[in-house]
Amino acid sequence: MKLLQRRKQATTQDKSPTYSHYAGSGVCDVCNSPVGSGEAFQVPTPVFWASKKYKKWVATNPITKSQLAMSGITVDQFIAFQRARDKTKYSAVCATCVHLF
């Protein structure tokens, strides 16, 4: 009798295999689109706020761009402010935005 060989293969994902899935549901911390249970990725907070790509996204996205313009703050000030406020360990990021990290 052959031994049943169970091989636990890592699920092949082209998109960001580095981050584990966020178990809960909520909204993406980048684009605010709703994410279903287990759909978002957990990006560690320091990585999240340190991302240059995210910073560029904030600076170029029409919504955040106009928000910054209205508040009269720079992207750097925004990042610094949000980072100081953020007491969470992870940010939930949807599959569309995870390439920023």
CA distance 58 to 48: 12
Contact call for residues 58 and 15 (beta carbons, < 8 A):
no
**Of the residues 40, 43, 79, 94, which one makes contact with Zn ion according to CB under 5 A:** 94
Residues 6 or more apart whose CB falls under 8 angstroms from that of 61 comprise: none
Q: Taking CB under 5 A as the rule, does residue 92 contact Zn ion?
A: no
Q: Is 30 an interacting residue with respect to Zn ion (CB under 5 A)?
A: yes
Hunting for tokens 């911390």 — which residue is that? 29
Among 6-14, 18-26, 37-45, 88-96, the segment contacting Zn ion (CB under 5 A): 88-96
Residue 97 within binding range of Zn ion, rule CB under 5 A: yes
Residues near Zn ion (CB under 5 A): 28, 30-31, 94, 96-97
